[in-house]
């Protein structure tokens, strides 16, 4: 009884028909019976009709009934092992995936190491489930990270807004509270802006407004916007770039890359350190290197540096939202470039960006 119950549980109530049925048997029997007409015609060509043995017709009908039964049983068995059984396994696995179970894996049917189309289909199904599981995990992590990042500035805004409701606050305290609220709201705005930018970039294959412009001019302008910061931290900024390098790209999007690299270099470099910008080009490629003498990163941090919301150095977590480098990498990939990170803890970090030169 227990085996019967387990079988019934495995059945899908949506399946309401079978491949093997009485109707199929009857049709097979009729087809084979009609085919006997050829045998009868050959027989009659050599034996006169009056000499046909009695019961010949009934005997042939019975014979073909047995042949039909054997044929249906053999083809049913072949169909079960070649089609019904693997399709049932695939259907049960797909049902579990539809219910949100991404640990399902189908083992190959053949044991000799060879693969037919069903084994290849099972293999592709396993890959698909792995990708879905990975995507679902990334989605959950992304939602959790966004919720956490949004919750922090909102809590700050709420706390200081409630504090502002107190009476008899002196001007300096009130200004301090409002400055904190403004800073938290700006961080929240920056977070939402970067999320929207990243989402837009991840859903497009090419940059929209591509045009030719001077990369050296852009690098100089971006570097100068951080002049106040590096002077404030007494950081030595060195630049070694060409006079002119024309490239084809979306200028506003590529500006995000340089701003993020310069910002990170200054942020993670201690006072009195050095940040160096180098730009070179040959007949085919343009190379931009941003190097700092900051705290550096270990191998594990380097592996995840371009992940969304990842912040290896938690001591600087209040200065960003972990989306800048993810945005930068996506922009670089869209223009057909590449980015390499080299870092040594306690010595510094080097970002090397390469892309094709405009000809």
Backbone φ/ψ region at 234: left (φ over 0), alpha (ψ -120 to 50), beta: left
Q: Is the distance from CB of 343 to CB of 303 less than 8 angstroms?
A: no
pLDDT at residue 274 tops 90: yes
For residue 154, tell me if it sits in a domain. Answer: yes
Task: Please give the pLDDT value at position 143.
Answer: 66
Which uninterrupted H or E stretch holds 183? Answer: helix 171-202
197 and 217 inside one domain: no
351 and 302 inside one domain: yes
Q: Where a domain ends, among 177, 202, 227?
A: 202
- The residue segments making up the domain with residue 58 are 18-101
Total domains in the fold of the chain: 3
97 and 149 inside one domain: no
Question: CA-to-CA distance for 288 and 280, rounded, in angstroms?
Answer: 7
Task: Please give the pLDDT value at position 309.
Answer: 61
**Three-state DSSP class for residue 348:** strand
Strand 246-249, strand 211-214: pairing: antiparallel
346 and 296 inside one domain: yes
333 and 236 inside one domain: yes
Among residues 352, 207, 342, the alpha carbon closest in space to that of 286 is found at 352
pLDDT tier, 1 (very low <50, low <70, confident <90, very high otherwise): very low
pLDDT at residue 93 tops 90: no
pLDDT at residue 30 tops 80: no
Write out the two tokens for 92. Answer: 């049960």
CATH label of the domain that carries residue 145: 1.10.287.130
For residue 115, tell me if it sits in a domain. Answer: no
For residue 224, tell me if it sits in a domain. Answer: yes
88 and 26 inside one domain: yes
Task: Please give the pLDDT value at position 4.
Answer: 42
CATH label of the domain that carries residue 250: 3.30.565.10
Question: CA-to-CA distance for 319 and 316, rounded, in angstroms?
Answer: 6
Q: What percent of the chain has pLDDT over 90?
A: 15
For residue 10, tell me if it sits in a domain. Answer: no
| pTM attached to this predicted model | 0.52
Taking the CA atoms of 86, 88, 91 and 93 in sequence, report the sign of the dihedral they define.
negative
C-alpha distances out from residue 302 to 122, 170, 234, 291, 349, Å: 36, 47, 27, 15, 10
277 and 340 inside one domain: yes
pLDDT tier, 192 (very low <50, low <70, confident <90, very high otherwise): confident
For residue 6, tell me if it sits in a domain. Answer: no
For residue 124, tell me if it sits in a domain. Answer: no
Task: Please give the pLDDT value at position 56.
Answer: 66
270 and 156 inside one domain: no
Q: Where a domain ends, among 147, 168, 202?
A: 202
For residue 111, tell me if it sits in a domain. Answer: no
pLDDT tier, 352 (very low <50, low <70, confident <90, very high otherwise): very high
59 and 94 inside one domain: yes
190 and 256 inside one domain: no
The whole-angstrom distance between residue 177's C-alpha and the CA centroid of its chain comes to: 42
223-246: average pLDDT: 89
310 and 228 inside one domain: yes
For residue 142, tell me if it sits in a domain. Answer: yes
15-34: average pLDDT: 69
pLDDT tier, 256 (very low <50, low <70, confident <90, very high otherwise): confident
Q: Where a domain ends, among 180, 202, 224?
A: 202
Question: CA-to-CA distance for 229 and 233, rounded, in angstroms?
Answer: 6
């Amino acid at each position: 009884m227990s085996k019967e119950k387990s079988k019934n549980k495995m059945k899908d109530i949506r399946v309401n028909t079978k491949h093997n049925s009485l109707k199929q048997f009857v049709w097979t029997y009729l087809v084979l019976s009609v085919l006997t007409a050829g045998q009868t015609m050959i027989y009659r060509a050599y034996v006169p009709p009056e000499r046909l043995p009695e019961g010949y017709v009934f005997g042939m009908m019975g014979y073909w009934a047995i042949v039909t039964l054997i044929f249906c049983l053999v083809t049913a068995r072949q169909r079960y092992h070649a089609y019904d059984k693997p399709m049932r396994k695939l259907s049960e696995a797909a049902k579990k995936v539809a219910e949100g179970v991404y640990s399902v894996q189908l083992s190959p049917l053949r044991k000799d190491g060879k693969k037919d189309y069903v084994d290849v289909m099972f293999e592709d199904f396993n890959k698909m489930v792995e990708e879905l599981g990975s995507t679902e995990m990334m989605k959950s992590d992304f939602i959790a990270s966004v919720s956490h990042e949004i919750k922090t500035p909102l809590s700050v805004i709420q706390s200081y807004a409630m504090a502002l409701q107190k009476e008899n606050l002196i001007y300096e305290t009130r200004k301090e509270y409002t400055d904190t609220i403004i800073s938290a709201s700006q961080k929240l705005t920056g977070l939402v802006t970067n999320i929207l930018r990243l989402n837009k970039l991840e859903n497009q294959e090419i940059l929209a407004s591509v045009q030719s412009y001077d990369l050296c001019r852009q690098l100089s302008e971006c570097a100068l916007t951080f002049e106040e910061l590096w002077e404030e931290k007494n950081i030595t900024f060195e630049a070694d770039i060409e006079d002119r390098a024309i490239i084809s790209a979306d200028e506003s999007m590529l500006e995000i890359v340089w701003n993020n690299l310069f910002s990170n270099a200054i942020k993670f470099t201690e006072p009195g350190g050095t940040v160096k910008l180098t730009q070179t080009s040959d007949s085919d490629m343009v190379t931009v290197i941003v190097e700092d003498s900051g705290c550096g990163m270990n191998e594990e941090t380097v592996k995840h540096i371009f992940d969304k919301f990842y912040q290896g150095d938690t001591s600087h977590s209040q200065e960003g939202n972990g989306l800048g480098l993810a945005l930068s990498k996506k922009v670089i990939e869209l223009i057909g470039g590449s980015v390499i990170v080299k870092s040594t803890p306690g010595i510094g970090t080097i970002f090397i960006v390469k892309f094709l030169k405009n000809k």
